[in-house]
Amino acid sequence: MSEPLPHPLLGGRFASPVEPGSGWPDDVATPATPVARDPADVERQAADAVAADALAAGAHPPGALAAGAHPADAASLADLTAQISVCRACPRLVEWRETVAHDKRRSFAGEPYWGRPVPGWGSDRPRVLIVGLAPAAHGGNRTGRMFTGDRSGLWLYGAMNRVGLAATDGSEHAGDGQRLTATRIVAAVRCAPPDNRPTTAERDSCAPWLRAELALVLPTVRAVVALGSYGFDAFLRGMRALGGRVPSPRPRFTHGVEAAIETADGRSVTLLASFHPSQQNTFTGRLTEDMLDAVLARARSLADA
Ligand code: SF4
């Protein structure tokens, strides 16, 4: 752990990685939050979180029996968020995220780095769900919030603001006042991976967290925007695991594609695909502002319908 440095917006000093419960904006974990140390722990804790939510709603578990049948209890979602944010189940990713947090990019050398898994954020009863790949090493892994503190985030939040899904067009740091409107952003893999490439084993280890979050928020979701094929595939896998019906032939990722997915309780959720707002796509013109705006505007109109 590195020596404490001042948070660039709030001034309080934090170690890198940030200690749970030390006051980082939006950190809901505490030193007592249970830590998953291997994939079996992730599986068990994620299933327990869904079962606890069902109990809170007066439904009868076991497991995911009642998943998707009622809006999430805010405390259940906060518990899940806390547990995700302290997970240590993937040794390679834990080492990478903490090494990046310790060494830092030169331009951020005077700042603390979050250096932990980046949980979902936004509404706890979203009508729009945005699914990305994983946090960026010097973006989400530094700021503790998805698509925050990097160029991809400027693109995404700019577009979200233009269509009315975000309060401002910027996303500098957790604690910057950004608010999402009926929208939640999650990643398929919650730790920053080297070269943005998680291994298949890491993807599978993290999948129960996504599945549990889907189980908790799906009852209110009308539209899902997958940013890139990785998030697209992860969402479809998660839906299948939750008993949803994916059309056959299985929808293939391409920008602008749209597919109706039936949830286990018979509702329809529309999956929309956009190219990821990575610099590789935005610098080359593969993804333009108009293209991203159109997908998000469609999600907004589905959410409002
Ligand atoms: Fe845990 Fe997911 Fe990070 Fe692996 S990638 S350590 S499962 S949060």
| Atom 3 of ligand 1, residue of closest alpha carbon | 191
Q: What percent of the chain has pLDDT over 90?
A: 89
Q: How confident is the model at residue 70 (pLDDT cuts 50, 70, 90)?
A: low
Span from the CA of 97 to the centroid of ligand 1 (angstroms) = 10
**At residue 34, what is the residue type?**
P
Q: What does pTM read for this prediction?
A: 0.95
Domain locations in the chain? 5-304
Write down the pLDDT at residue 63: 42
Q: How confident is the model at residue 2 (pLDDT cuts 50, 70, 90)?
A: confident
User: In the predicted model, is pLDDT for residue 18 greater than 60?
Assistant: yes
For every residue of 61-79, which 3-state class applies, written as one string? CCCCCCCCCCCCCHHHHHH
Q: Which atom of ligand 1 is nearest to the CA of 87?
A: 1
* Range 225-251 average pLDDT: 96
Span from the CA of 275 to the centroid of ligand 1 (angstroms) = 24
- Residue-wise pLDDT for 91-110, tens only, equals 999 999 999 999 999 999 99
Residues with CB under 6 A from ligand 1: 42, 84, 87-90, 93-94, 117, 189-191, 202, 205-206, 209
What is the residue-averaged pLDDT of the chain?
Answer: 94
User: In the predicted model, is pLDDT for residue 120 greater than 70?
Assistant: yes
| Atom 7 of ligand 1, residue of closest alpha carbon | 206
- Residue-wise pLDDT for 134-145, tens only, equals 999 999 999 999
Give the mutation target among 100, 146, 206, 213 for probing the ligand 1 site: most ligand atoms within 8 A of CB.
206
Span from the CA of 116 to the centroid of ligand 1 (angstroms) = 9
Write down the pLDDT at residue 65: 38
* Range 149-173 average pLDDT: 96
Give the mutation target among 95, 98, 189 for probing the ligand 1 site: most ligand atoms within 8 A of CB.
189
- Domain 5-304 classification at class level: alpha beta
- Residue-wise pLDDT for 145-158, tens only, equals 999 999 999 999 99
Write down the pLDDT at residue 54: 82
